[in-house]
Chain A
Amino acid sequence: AQSVSQHNHHVILSEAASLELGCNYSYGGTVNLFWYVQYPGQHLQLLLKYFSGDPLVKGIKGFEAEFIKSKFSFNLRKPSVQWSDTAEYFCAVNWPPSGGYNKLIFGAGTRLAVHP
């Protein structure tokens, strides 16, 4: 069955530290890849996405992610985190055509706490 794994459930960092959150998916073929973020009390919102092309994708708020097809991975990175990055981060994968319905499989999420 299709699945998505996020390696870290909780991450605690100090401001200005670098961040890398791991995401792996179960098997290959064509995939669309997403990172969503949920700030405390807010909607789930899209950070970045990969559909095709350059495997290094840049998103909002200084985040980027790299798609490594051979490793079935799509890790999220940020060189220097801020207190305002405290949130829960979800990796999600779509295996098109999946009936054309654009279904997503989500990882379990990673809670990031950034201390000033």
Chain B
Amino acid sequence: DVKVTQSSRYLVKRTGEKVFLECVQDMDHENMFWYRQDPGLGLRLIYFSYDVKMKEKGDIPEGYSVSREKKERFSLILESASTNQTSMYLCATTTSTDTQYFGPGTRLTVL
């Protein structure tokens, strides 16, 4: 089974803090994705990566950056957290032709 883990299930941060969310997969998949999930909006793509050190903006990249230094690890960074970034963050991984597999999510609250 594909295993996708995320560093925290719940996180509470203050406005202006730098926040790191980490995702690790064990299947040697080349593609990794970060989404945010909000009620009534479904999942929206923030960034994705198709190889080590390679990244592409998704639909809502503003206020976020990413890092992929190793194939199995994809980090989402909130440079200066704001209250409108309070959300559920989901990581997913896939090959170029397969289904996307999701991690358990991190529920981030920014106060």
Give A contacts to B, CB under 8 Å. 4, 6, 9, 34, 36, 42-46, 49, 90, 92, 99-104, 106-109
Given contacts A92-B100, A102-B96, 12 further A-B contacts (CB under 8 A): A34-B99, A44-B102, A46-B99, A49-B99, A90-B43, A99-B50, A101-B56, A102-B31, A102-B97, A102-B98, A102-B100, A109-B40
* CB closest chain-A residue, reference B58: A103
Listed A/B pairs (12) with beta-carbon separation below 8 Å: A6-B42, A34-B99, A43-B104, A44-B102, A46-B99, A92-B43, A102-B98, A102-B100, A104-B45, A104-B100, A106-B35, A108-B42
Chain A residue numbers with a CB within 8 Å of B50 are: 99-101
Give B contacts to A, CB under 8 Å. 31, 33, 35, 40-45, 48, 50, 56, 58, 90, 94-100, 102-105
A90 touches B99 (CB 8 A): no
* CB closest chain-A residue, reference B54: A101
Chain B residue numbers with a CB within 8 Å of A45 are: 102
